[in-house]
Structure 1
Amino acid sequence: MSVQGVEISPVGRTRTAPADNARPQNLRFAFASCQDYQAGFYTAYAHLAEEDLGFVAFLGDYIYEGAPNPNARRVHEGAGEPLDLAQYRNRHAQYKTDPHLQAAHAAFPWIVTFDDHEIDNNWADEIPQDPQLQTPSQFRARRIAAFQAYYEHMPLRAEQAQIRTAAEFVVENGRPGIASVTAEPVPLARTRTAGPIRAS
């Protein structure tokens, strides 16, 4: 892809899922998670990109919200933790500058979910890691900004652009499952939103 003839995006590849009635004999995929930019280099992704995989399942902590550590091998951009949309966009953009991470994204489709560091370490609902430093309204605004940047930078469809915050777990016939998931309405730049999800 070319943007005004200046920025050229490298060619990537993807795979589609098998047909509903297909019975694949095998499926190769990789798990990845917890990729703190300041904690080291992404050399594992260089090797991952050379594998023959169906997809990468990323289990969360795609970015870390920590302030720049001057003693790290690679230092986070910015002056502190990201708090607003521009700062979260910059943090995602910095992570995406890594050539090995770019190669892994170009090689496979990714299935992603978030954990805590995409927003704030160990946050829960409307409670940040440090509630004495962030009021509930400040943290809600921060959370909205973080989710917006996440959906702008991750391979998600527009109908997935709503945050799931509560799930009802049930056991049927001895097997655990999710009966329903409710979504918190978050103002995002995308126009289509998902409503509550009901498991079949």
Structure 2
Amino acid sequence: MSETQTVTNKCIEVKIPGTDLSFRVCEDTVGLKLIHNNKEITVSIDDFRNAYALRALLALEFNYDLKSELTGKIAGFLQLNEEVNKLINQTTQNSETKEYKICLKLVNNICNGEYILANKQGVFLLNQIYVKSLNNFQDELKLISSVKIKEINEIKFNGIIDVDFNERFVKITTDENKVITGSVDEVTTFIKSKYGLKKS
């Protein structure tokens, strides 16, 4: 039986029995965050629950052998851990009030203050504007669509060919289980065109 310890910020530490390995599983805005060997990745709950997908992530992101017994053991203990499953259930229950926020443009790996924000009320463009009189940043929200969003996952590509497209890719699932996939710019444009508010 794996030894677990609940840590701060809705994280669970899972120690893999018979090894010196441990993984930290945390709640994240787009699913779960998996932390191991000073590296963290974001994984959707669907991929975490899928045995092959989780093994593939362990291989691609943490350099484990996809076909090894150890990789299967790690995936199994992560998926079957009671505390992790409580965290997943809580995350799923909280999805009704969850907001997803993804930066539209990164400059030197820092967001320029423009985001796409989605929740059960719709999809918004969010600008963080500096107000000199308040000496602080204020959020400016503009509703661009009333489509209701169930989940947003950021997509990472892995392969032999260089896949640094200088763009961020996302998969959006609506309340009606329609899936929209593409770069952040493409998805934003599509939502405004397909599901956008009617102009008066």
Q: TM-score range by the shorter chain?
A: under 0.3
Normalized against structure 1, the TM-score is what? 0.27
Normalized against structure 2, the TM-score is what? 0.27
Q: Which has the higher contact order (CA 8 A, sep 6+)?
A: 1
